Amino acid sequence: MAIRLILKNTLYSNPPIHQLKRRIAILGSTGSIGTQALEVITSNPDLFEVEVLTAYNSYETLVKQALTFLPNAVVIGNKDSYGFVRDALSATDIKVYAGSEAIAQIVEMDTIDIVLTAMVGFSGLIPTINAIKAKKTIALANKETLVVAGELITELALQHKVPIIPVDSEHSAIFQCLVGEKSPIEKIILTASGGPFRQHTLDQLKRVTCTDALNHPNWCMGSKITIDSATMMNKGLEIIEAKWLFSLNPSQIDVIVHPQSIIHSLVQFEDGSLKAQLGLPDMRLPIQYALSFPHRIKSDFPRFNFSNYPTLTFEEPDTKRFRNLALAKEALVKGGNAPCILNAANEIAVDSFLKEKIGFLQMSDIIEKVIARSIFILKPSIEDYSLTDEQTRILTQNVIKEHQS
């Protein structure tokens, strides 16, 4: 029960919330999670302090954020933008670094208490590993880290007694339901909105455009995760994420489509009791909880009102129309580097869909082909993960070219 140990470490080792300011490093500060985390920090200046900000490409936003929050250091991932960021911040004391290696290293700074991992995709892996080794509390928003290398990450966290607090709303819901519980989990139920195409036929799905897919009904998120929500790959990745966070077997993880996104997920205990966490869909809440855990702090977020939601509905997910969900489950059961292959193939497929190179349903076709053609490794090392990721990206590009010709 990895999470219980992690939870216990955190519950007894953290000082009261008002005693010390928590110094936060935000990896991916210009993205959707990053900017909402900065909102939370702005609303709670007595509790939180920005120590480090990093971004990959958005150098102008990074500079604006740095001038507002005056962190100790910033890192711009794309080295081409280093000069711009350095010059723009030259009148301040803020240290400026560039490159992926610098992002991976900055998390070790001894003035950081919490690392919020909010970058996109596989790029989260190495910085998260380094942050755990440096004994930083992880507020995990980059689910791909656990999808790709869940076994390695959870083992490392246990070994270094580092708490991993989920930011993903479903996993935060489950985490909140587990606080105070000592008994085993019978199963968890992840809720899914079903995305914008929940009721589309296969024929309609074939004609879905990128603009349609970027228009999510409930959640406002970055483009990668919005497409993942529309294909339900997001839920597939979340099943894998949940397995590692809460030490579950694949058979203990269910998915139910709940289009209103009010119930954020549920835990079922061995006596049959179900606990759920509810609220309006607002990512600031799970972000704030991850930063303030084990405390809750006052917020002015809009409150849920039952009269606005006279009906909450539920339906089984359809893996015939949303095949990514089935592909993710297969990868989870298979284990080894299979989820890493799934993730890399998906990142390339989503990118190609966003660039209008392939259609909506082709994303699943391509991922399935790539998985079938990849080399399976049952016990991958960290080098194996990097190599699998690299090779899968190349293979996926080739499969996409075949589809186009």
Show the tokens assigned to 146: 């656990």
Asked if 168 interacts with Mn ion (CB under 5 A), we say yes
Stretch that binds Mn ion, among 24-32, 144-152, 167-175, 311-319 (CB under 5 A): 167-175
C-alpha closest to that of 63 among 98, 39, 87: 87
For residues 261 and 221, what is the distance between their CA atoms, to the nearest angstrom? 14
Stretch that binds Mn ion, among 168-176, 290-298, 309-317, 387-395 (CB under 5 A): 168-176
Nearer to Mn ion, 98 or 174 (CB): 174
388 phi and psi angles, rounded to 5 deg:
-60, -45
Q: In what order do the strands lie in the sheet with 263-269?
A: 253-257, 185-192, 263-269, 274-278
For residues 186 and 246, what is the distance between their CA atoms, to the nearest angstrom? 11
Stretch that binds Mn ion, among 17-25, 161-169, 320-328, 351-359 (CB under 5 A): 161-169
Q: What would the DSSP string read from start to end of 221-282? A: --HHHHHHHHHTHHHHHHHHHHHHHTT--GGGEEEEE-TT--EEEEEEETTS-EEEEE--S-
C-alpha closest to that of 97 among 116, 61, 73: 73
CB contact at 8 A, 317 and 238 = no
CB contact at 8 A, 228 and 234 = yes
Smallest gap from residue 287 Cβ to Mn ion (A): 12
Q: What is the largest CA-CA distance in the chain?
A: 63
Smallest gap from residue 229 Cβ to Mn ion (A): 8
Q: In what order do the strands lie in the sheet with 73-76?
A: 95-98, 73-76, 48-55, 22-27, 114-117, 137-140, 164-166
Smallest gap from residue 119 Cβ to Mn ion (A): 16
Smallest gap from residue 293 Cβ to Mn ion (A): 18
Smallest gap from residue 88 Cβ to Mn ion (A): 34
For residues 23 and 208, what is the distance between their CA atoms, to the nearest angstrom? 43
Stretch that binds Mn ion, among 125-133, 165-173, 268-276, 280-288 (CB under 5 A): 165-173
Amino acid found at 86: R
Stretch that binds Mn ion, among 92-100, 162-170, 297-305, 343-351 (CB under 5 A): 162-170
Smallest gap from residue 237 Cβ to Mn ion (A): 9
Asked if 241 interacts with Mn ion (CB under 5 A), we say no
Smallest gap from residue 192 Cβ to Mn ion (A): 9
Q: Could you give the count of Cα atoms lying within 13 Å of 218 in the half-sphere of its Cβ?
A: 22
Smallest gap from residue 238 Cβ to Mn ion (A): 6
Nearer to Mn ion, 117 or 169 (CB): 169
State which residue has the least CB distance to Mn ion. 168
Size of the site for Mn ion (CB under 5 A): 3
Nearer to Mn ion, 113 or 168 (CB): 168
Nearer to Mn ion, 49 or 241 (CB): 241
Nearer to Mn ion, 170 or 351 (CB): 170
Stretch that binds Mn ion, among 110-118, 130-138, 169-177, 209-217 (CB under 5 A): 169-177
Nearer to Mn ion, 346 or 396 (CB): 346
Smallest gap from residue 191 Cβ to Mn ion (A): 9
Nearer to Mn ion, 144 or 368 (CB): 144
**Which helix (H) or strand (E) element contains residue 137?**
strand 137-140
Show the tokens assigned to 137: 């509390």
Nearer to Mn ion, 66 or 118 (CB): 118
Nearer to Mn ion, 32 or 352 (CB): 32
Nearer to Mn ion, 169 or 396 (CB): 169
Smallest gap from residue 219 Cβ to Mn ion (A): 8
Amino acid found at 330: E
Name the site residues for Mn ion (rule: CB under 5 A): 168-170
